[in-house]
Amino acid sequence: MLPFENTQQYMHIYNINTLGELKKSDYKPLPIKEELRKNLIAKLKNKEEIFTGIIGFEDTVIPDVQRAILSRHSILLLGLRGQAKTRIARLLINLLDEYIPVVKGSEINDDPLHPISKFSKELINEMGDNTPIEWMHRNERYVEKLATPDVSVADLIGDVDPIKAASLKLPYSDERVIHFGLVPRAHRCLFVINELPDLQARIQVSLFNILQEGDLQIRGFKLRLPLDVEFVFTANPEDYTNRGSIVTPLKDRIQSQILTHYPKTTAISKAITQSESKISEEQKSKVTVPELHKDILEQLVLEARTSEFTDEKSGVSARMSIAAMENLVSTAERRMLINGENTTTTRITDFWGVIPAITGKLELVYEGEQEGIYNVVMKLMDRAIKHFFDQHFPNPEKNLSRDPYGTLKVWFQSGNTVDILLDDSDDIYQSQLDGVAGLRKFIDGYNIVGKDVYPFMELVIHGLTAYQIIGRNYVENKFLFEDPLGRLLDDDDDDEL
């Protein structure tokens, strides 16, 4: 949106270089909250997309953010990690005017028509309509600070500069000796503080008057600067109890607290993962990821969020599924390159190459620590596989009039095994599955055809393993599927010898 009445006038902004020229134009300054509100109204009327790339918040978070902007509120985005809080904040710059004029040389982006700093006021008094101005793009009007325990009042608000005081021969109470912090320099800007509870309580207190009154107090010297800042804060609910908290008076001054959330459906999760995964066009052309595997991956993340082994207060970031998808494709790509193949399709066994993308993103409770991160991931994997096995095939634990898995059980009980190396070529992998008596016929009975045949054949093997109908051993980069009872008997024979 433009600060002028029409586009033609806007095109000549580079010809407006002085205060006098600006006064003659149709430029109309607005407080930043009014500016955001004006541009949001225009975009809503024109049905323009504002939060590009944000998926799953269309009916929840985004309407709340829009209401807050229309209400001219400061905003707190509250949610677990990986819920797009910072991305939403960054996209708010799309609601700013593309350019605004500022007094040239001003440290705090003074509006030439309404200056607030002593520097700009004195410059305008001295030069009048010849006061030079420059144009500030909206990308320069976004200030972001990650709250950490070492952030000081001087960082955010400012401090007295004794060198300035000495060189200018001014007292410390003079505004001209102040070295302004991030907040004053964010005048007429969006100012985002991420992980607000990590700020020490005394630092949070320094924001009180800025939010409410526009007052600054530096080293005991009070400045009356009516700062015009749109504050957006982000926080994780876990922080309220573990690492710190937002002090109550500060929360009271933040008018809108908006709760974010994880995707509500697998379809939304898949859309986010596909949108955010850094997978090159070359990888996409050579590595096929069946929908079944995409579903299993998202279910794996969902199982992690609801597992008794993981800390639900910490949450499981959407970054897990994104990183896992990237690793899944890369695992298949590596195998393809090793075997000199031109194309390949991901496998369930490729998910074991995904484990490094998962282990670092899980916060375990005590029971999970006792179980061990690797075993926890394996259990989550089996639960995800079970979920989709049950969707497509009969539950082997139910009493059925006819056992649909009878032929497969007999084949394994006869001492037959399936050996799948993680780096096996597609031909070897398919021949291993084709060699299981009755497996292809079982799949054909469920009308699974084409490219989905082998992914679903493998799903049957892993599903029966998850139900402990078939035993599974992972040794030296190889999966061995066999009859579990046969393994026990072999171990007993070895003991007798």
Residue among 342, 379, 352, 325 at smallest CA distance from 458: 352
Q: What is the pLDDT of residues 309-318, one digit of tens each?
A: 998 877 888 8
CA 380 to chain centre: 22
Q: What is the pLDDT of residues 400-426, one digit of tens each?
A: 778 899 999 999 999 999 999 999 999
* Mean pLDDT, rounded, of the chain: 87
State the pLDDT at residue 497: 43
The C-alpha atoms of residue 300 and residue 384 are separated, in whole angstroms, by 5
pLDDT above 80: residue 209 = no
> For a pLDDT cut of 70, what percent of the chain falls above it?
89
State the pLDDT at residue 282: 95
At 144, list the tokens. 């972001």
State the pLDDT at residue 402: 83
pLDDT-derived band at 181, boundaries 50, 70, 90: confident
pLDDT above 70: residue 6 = no
For residues 222 and 335, which has the higher predicted lDDT (pLDDT)? 335
Vertex 26: Cα angle to 22 and 27 (nearest 5): 60
For residues 208 and 324, which has the higher predicted lDDT (pLDDT)? 324
The C-alpha atoms of residue 479 and residue 473 are separated, in whole angstroms, by 6
The C-alpha atoms of residue 232 and residue 90 are separated, in whole angstroms, by 10
State the pLDDT at residue 403: 87
Q: What secondary structure letter does DSSP report for 231?
A: E
The C-alpha atoms of residue 120 and residue 118 are separated, in whole angstroms, by 6
Angle at which helices 373-392 and 453-466 cross, to 10°: 120
* Beta-carbon contacts of residue 330 (< 8 Å; ≥ 6 apart): 283, 353
pLDDT-derived band at 7, boundaries 50, 70, 90: very low
> For a pLDDT cut of 90, what percent of the chain falls above it?
60
pLDDT-derived band at 496, boundaries 50, 70, 90: very low
pLDDT above 70: residue 172 = no
Burial 452-488 (b: 16+ CB within 10 A, else e): ebbbbbbbbbbbbbbbebbbbeeeeeebebbbbebee
Give the best-scoring range by mean pLDDT among 68-82, 215-229, 470-484.
68-82
At 169, list the tokens. 């021969």
Range from 19-33, 121-135, 199-213 carrying the lowest mean pLDDT: 199-213
Mean pLDDT, to the nearest integer, of 190-198? 93
Range from 15-19, 126-130, 231-235, 338-342 carrying the lowest mean pLDDT: 15-19
Mean pLDDT, to the nearest integer, of 362-379? 89
Mean pLDDT, to the nearest integer, of 289-310? 94
State the pLDDT at residue 407: 92
Please report, to the nearest 10 degrees, the dihedral formed by the alpha carbons of residues 27, 32, 35, 39 taken in order.
Answer: 130
pLDDT above 70: residue 491 = no
Mean pLDDT, to the nearest integer, of 72-100? 94
Phi, psi torsion values for 153, nearest 5 degrees? -60, -35
Give the best-scoring range by mean pLDDT among 147-151, 285-289, 313-317.
285-289
Q: How would DSSP label each residue in 323-339?
A: HHHHHHHHHHHHHHHHT
DSSP-based three-state secondary structure for 206: coil
Q: What secondary structure letter does DSSP report for 55?
A: -
The C-alpha atoms of residue 497 and residue 494 are separated, in whole angstroms, by 5
Residue the block writes with tokens 């790339």 = 53
State the pLDDT at residue 8: 45
Mean pLDDT, to the nearest integer, of 450-455? 90
* Beta-carbon contacts of residue 77 (< 8 Å; ≥ 6 apart): 61, 85, 88, 89, 232, 233, 234, 235, 258, 260
State the pLDDT at residue 109: 95
CA 58 to chain centre: 16
For residues 399 and 489, which has the higher predicted lDDT (pLDDT)? 399
pLDDT-derived band at 474, boundaries 50, 70, 90: confident
State the pLDDT at residue 5: 47
Q: What is the pLDDT of residues 21-77, one digit of tens each?
A: 999 888 889 999 999 999 999 999 999 999 998 999 999 999 999 999 999 999 999
State the pLDDT at residue 489: 47
Mean pLDDT, to the nearest integer, of 392-399? 87
Residue among 90, 311, 77 at smallest CA distance from 195: 77
Cβ-based neighbour number of residue 91 at 10 Å: 18
The C-alpha atoms of residue 491 and residue 472 are separated, in whole angstroms, by 15
Residue the block writes with tokens 């600060």 = 3
pLDDT above 80: residue 177 = no
* Beta-carbon contacts of residue 79 (< 8 Å; ≥ 6 apart): 85, 234, 236, 237, 259, 260, 261
Amino acid in the structure at residue 96: L
For residues 225 and 197, which has the higher predicted lDDT (pLDDT)? 197
Q: What is the pLDDT of residues 220-276, one digit of tens each?
A: 566 677 889 999 999 988 655 445 688 888 888 899 999 999 998 889 999 999 999
